[in-house]
Structure 1
Amino acid sequence: MAEAAAKSVLGTISRGHLECPICCCRFTDPKMLDCLHSFCLNCLKEFTRRQLPKAHEITCPVCRRITAVPDTGMQGLPNCFFLSSLVDEFNKQERLLGDAPANAPTCEECDEGLEAVSRCLDCCKFICKKCLKAHERMKSMRHHRIIGKEEHKFAEALIGPRKKDNLKCNKHHNQDICLYCETCKTLACAACAALDHRGAEHEYREVADAIRSYRQNVGEILQRFEQSKEEFKVADDSLSHSRNRLRIKVARACKDITTKEEEEISKIRNKSRLLRDKVTQIGEARDRTFGEVQKSNRDKMERAEQIVATVNDLMQQADDFELLDLKPKVMHNLQFQSELEFEQAQHDLSFIGVKCQDVVADTDIGEVLQEENWQLKVEFGETGPEDGKLECPAGVACLTNGDIAVTDMEKWKLMVFTSTGEYKKNVGGEQLNYPGFVAVTTGGLLLVADKKYVKVLDSSLSVIRQFATSPDDADDKTDLSGITVDKENRIAVADSKRTIISLHHLDGSLIRTIPNDMVAGGLAIGIGERLIFTNINESKLICITYTGDEVFNVDTLLGGEPVWPFGVCCDDAGDIYVSVGVEEFDSCEVHHYSPEGVFIGRVASGLNGPFSLTFTPSGDLVVADGVSVKIFQRV
């Protein structure tokens, strides 16, 4: 069973690594091209013969790169010594296992051409049955050492001795290779150094020093390649997000177009279809652009990884002489590192929207918005103690019907307004004591952070249940600075005093507690079970997973200087929006970040204390700003 397993392993390795890609047979006299791919010498000759117009060049059958044919012909191409050694070793092991289809040796003692069945170690010859009997019969050879065909030494004798470790000079055959000429990029013996490399322009060193420097150079390049892999991942993730965001925005734009179409269905059906097509065409064109850039980056990385894999194989399997002999080609292939640059996503191309307008017979239903810009759509909130007026709006959330819930931290009430700012109702007093930040579940329930409790309200603003986020003895150590809920109705609550984020089911049962010393501000849930929160004191925007692993930690800046981050929210594509300001609460802004924490741009400016923000179902941005609520729309 062990022998069968060994044969299976040998066969698998041979097929995967020791077979010529042209003839699909085990390598015979393998030669290496400039791209580091190897092929049988005869296969290359036949392959080149078919390329008569370009007989001075070889196009690699694997990667299509060009290799110049040496003046001496195919024979002058570099030998792939480590492949030759591996093939010899595999042939030997297969013969030892009785699995190789080798030609049986003939008797070397007689001229009858009979098959050898034994080998005489004293005569150093293969012998047939007749000669074996002669050995046994003759007194002078009776004590010779005979090994049978089934013994391993017989197979070893058939295979022949292995190659020696010391490499001899091709020009001075009795001299060992001991030097490497950096000027000529070639191995040399002492005689070569004295005769051919003695000029001042020749710089040569001992093989050990040369290989040490060579390995160090390769190691540094491979280390830089690892950095390039990280850059590739960032670029690839950015492109993937931009493509996904583009699809979401295209879908949103098409939905907006359809809504407008339904309002004036009898007049505009045809024009709305044309505009949808235009949006889709632009989206597809941009998606192709993103896809081409992404494919180009991936192709670069795939080619780079192929080169690195081949170089790593050489570094691990070839001996020093072979490595130095191949140094020019290896270093030439590693030059890709200096040119390995990845194209980043053009984030502005990932946005597409629609600006609808009233339609008459000879106008379009709307225009395509190919750049993302924002403008103030609605502002509401008069200052005063009366119901329906605001004094210090802090928390803001959008209900499923489009209404806007606002908490006022001076009145300690929660008020509900329409999307145009008309006051509807409020709740406070016995039901809510210190209402702070708010969120809305997918089912339309309203979540309010009320001191140490999270209170759940229905559509009539009645408290249907509540749950504590901290132990009873932690009342004076609790400060709920943020609350949010994901699409599966898992509630996340930030406690800036205890510096934790607690994750709960909708019924209030605790899922897990996530400690983090940076919890000190707003809280939102991003894509892929990520928690995004701010730290006002350190001017930080932080992202962690539900298990507490940090994704990013970036500074929030305004004019190049650290600035306080207040509220944070995410749109349906996972992009992050943060309200920032200074201590005086003048010239505050809303900033836009990618899901990876990369600053994209400014959404709004001239704000007066934007403590929290959220999105409406239609994609407008709602900001609780000082003494009013402002709604911004894309234009």
Structure 2
Amino acid sequence: MCGDCSSEHVLHKLNRDHKLFPVDQLGSDEYVTELRARQSVPCDHNSKDHVEIFCPVCKKCICATCSFLEHKDHDCLRIKTAADKRKEKLELLVRPIEKKSLVYDKFKTAAEHQKRLVEEGRKKAKSQVNNHLELLIKMASQRAEDLLEEIDAKSNAKLEVLNVLIATATAEQNQLDDVVEFLRKLINHGNDMDVLQMASACEQNTESIHALKIPTLPAAMTQLQLITNDMEECVTNINRCLGDVVPAVSGRLLTSFKVDLEKSHKEFISDVTTDTNGDILIGIWCNEAFSRNRIHIYDTTFVLQGSIPNPRAAEKGAFGGIAIDDNGNTVTRCQASNEIIVYTKTGDQVRTFHSELPHAVAVNSKGHYVVAGRDTLTVHHKDGKVLQTTPDPEGKYSKCIHCNVNDDIIVTGDDHIRVYDSTLQLKYRYGSQGDGDGQVNIPRGTCCLDNGDIILTDFNNHCLHLVSPDGKFKYFLLGEDNGLRYPTDVTIKHVGKLVVGESGGNIKFFEL
């Protein structure tokens, strides 16, 4: 109403207890408080009295009289008290959703960064092609056109995947934000009745929100480069001179952090992996005292969130190895007690089962646990049932294991790696003792790109090998020139960073 009408309104006898608010104050705390104070709802069983009590058993609002009759043993509360308690519970639901939304922001930022790298790689690769084209002129023109098309095809294919992932992440984040916005409005502005009536539905809705899985960026190098041979060969082999378009790693160190190790006990980093939220799990090993073996869990800002101690410390069992299963649980092993042990992310033990003398464990695409034993390779169901097993050579050092997207199984030996297919048939071996191309000096952890290429840590040669899916040496991905010293394990974060753990405690992040 206008100013004149509002002045006239309060002069009437029936309106003298009315409280008027300017339109721009309808969302104010004072307005909400006044509105709630004037709300009154009659009780279903006693229409003479207004509701002022909430029964948590029957989940309904009642009057004071009913609370002493049929609801007397139901631990009833004042409506405001009950609503405040439900608000506290809703607040606990909102916080992890808000945190998850921030992870989506980080994912999208990383995806946009990869898009920029793809475009930079496109520009660089095309420039290389054009420079060679000037030298070869007509002889190389057809090959150059083919290469340009290949570059566009590969770049566009990667960009298409990234765009779909970004669109998916945006849609799911919008879903999160809608839920957060609704819950915030309900918490901050909903009346007590609304809160109590809608709280259960909101709690059920948040379960589906928590079930959303943050997308994972492709484990593939984003830039392209042109691999060429000597130009003198162009007369006999133009295609070879112009070369092929292949992925290339930038080798740029993005960041790093240091894990505190006990020098007096000669502790070292044995395992590194990441989960879908980007948290980093670090295995710490101590040959002098197995009881000190443990797993540290760091968040995306490298803050230590917790540790999983050796559950067999009293028996001095060798505890180690890290894998993440499809439920987000941490899977590890204890060799002395012949156990595979499964933990929640918070360190609570979920289950254990028997596996003979386990060295390392991985999880395949079916969610099965693949265990490298001292002299066997075994596939277990989650409940521990043995699905497949085959002999695998015993070695001097503890084994490492990894499963790629095709469920090929990569097991490290003393001076080579063995690659098995999903039926546990040996496909090939890679490596021999030495420091040259295709040679290793104590191979350790591995991971794989989406195209099947294997990244292998070479401990004493201070480098990473890039190995083709059929077991051929491609080139050294990173080495001492990139600052590597005694690498023990490698993994790829869901935002496309290469993570390398070094024996001395350094965890380094490189740009792919």
Name the TM-score, length of structure 2 as normaliser.
0.48
**Higher RCO, 1 or 2 (CA under 8 Å, sep at least 6)?**
2
Name the TM-score, length of structure 1 as normaliser.
0.40
Q: Which has the larger radius of gyration?
A: 1
